[in-house]
Amino acid sequence: MSEPLLEVRDLKKHFPVASLLFGKVRGWVKAVDGISFTINAGETLGLVGESGCGKTTTSKLILAAEEPTAGAIEFEGRNIVDLTDRDLMDYRRKVQVVFQDPYSSLSPRMRIGEIIGEPIQTHERVSLGEVRTRVGELLELVGLRPDMARLFPHEFSGGQRQRLAIARALSTNARLIVLDEPVSALDVSIRAHIIGLLEEIQARLGVSYLFIAHDLAAIAHISQQIAVMYLGKLVEVTDSLELCANPLHPYTKALFAASLPSHPDEEMKEIVLSGEVPSALNPPSGCRFHPRCPFVMPRCSKREPDLVEVSPGHKVACYLY
């Protein structure tokens, strides 16, 4: 086992909702409401959840693009909220991101060499020649050719662009890369390439990933640990193979049921959830999932269940256990 690289403790992010006329705060959107998890060096944590669950906000908090309302994010032992300019820049160097849309994540009027080299130039004092060499190495690392550095983004396909985005994320020897739905916009056959590339890079360079997606199968493949998120809270956290073999939380079970069969005769447990995801402005009382839960009990609406370890390494927030 490796040491923890990133530790998140009771992280909260509430956005104020102001009333139109007087700007008085009407309420709070509790996008992230007390989540805790750990990412170890060289490992991947998959964060799975549907729209509105708060995973995007979580990624912004980790990237220091937003400030937490409460809680701690500790990277290499230091809380990033306390970091000042120089250390913050160092943090930004070590934590990079790859976004979902390959068509808007690369600056259209810059050459690839400059795009990939920009983080290097922002963070380090190196000569242009060295930048060029490193860019060439990065391109090879992601399966492209160094001479492509002089091309523009529109000359590449979607899958290739994601590779370029990955190359850029690796340019400063980052230790953690946040991947926000990196393969959702790609064709099926290309996804396999990108996932394979990411796994290979992790094996070679020991970089950690926070892999955010809604596709369970892809997440399960690449992650060592998976955290399931619903309406701002984590409902289940465990090792990925264990999760696939033994999902405990009803929402997790529903997610598995909703993932499509891999062949026509596969027996899928039909758990169809009723209703829609409620708004984060007014979450249900007690367990947030209780209005849609097929196994709801009276105590579920009274108090929120804590995330407890019910078997080694397997945490669930549910009164069934």
Sole binder of other proteins in the list 99, 211, 289, 319 (CB under 8 A): 99
In angstroms, rounded to a whole number, what is the distance separating the alpha carbons of residues 192 and 217?
A: 11
Instruction: Give Cα separations from 27 to 96, 121, 289 (angstroms).
Output: 33, 43, 21
Q: Nearest 5°: phi and psi at 110?
A: -115, 150
Rounded least distance, CB 161 to other proteins, Å: 10
Q: Which is nearer to other proteins, 117 or 286 (CB)?
A: 117
In angstroms, rounded to a whole number, what is the distance separating the alpha carbons of residues 241 and 224?
A: 8
> Is the CB of residue 98 less than 8 Å from the CB of residue 51?
no
Q: Which is nearer to other proteins, 217 or 308 (CB)?
A: 217
204 belongs to the binding site for other proteins (CB under 8 A) = no
104 belongs to the binding site for other proteins (CB under 8 A) = yes
83 belongs to the binding site for other proteins (CB under 8 A) = no
Question: How many other C-beta atoms can be found within 10 angstroms of the C-beta atom of residue 206?
Answer: 12
276 belongs to the binding site for other proteins (CB under 8 A) = yes
Rounded least distance, CB 303 to other proteins, Å: 25
Residues 246-265 that bind other proteins (CB under 8 A): 254-265
77 belongs to the binding site for other proteins (CB under 8 A) = no
> Is the CB of residue 113 less than 8 Å from the CB of residue 135?
yes
157 belongs to the binding site for other proteins (CB under 8 A) = yes
Structure tokens at 318: 């549910």
Find the helix packing angle between 188-205 and 158-170, rounded to 10°: 20
Residues 218-247 that bind other proteins (CB under 8 A): 218, 220-221, 241, 244-245
Sheet bearing 44-48, strands edge to edge: 95-98, 176-180, 208-213, 44-48, 225-230, 233-239, 314-316, 308-311
Rounded least distance, CB 302 to other proteins, Å: 25
Residues 288-317 that bind other proteins (CB under 8 A): none
Name the residues that contact other proteins, by CB under 8 A: 50-51, 63-65, 88-89, 92-93, 96-97, 99, 101, 103-110, 114, 118-119, 122-123, 154, 157, 159, 187-193, 195-196, 214-218, 220-221, 241, 244-245, 254-266, 268, 272-273, 276-277
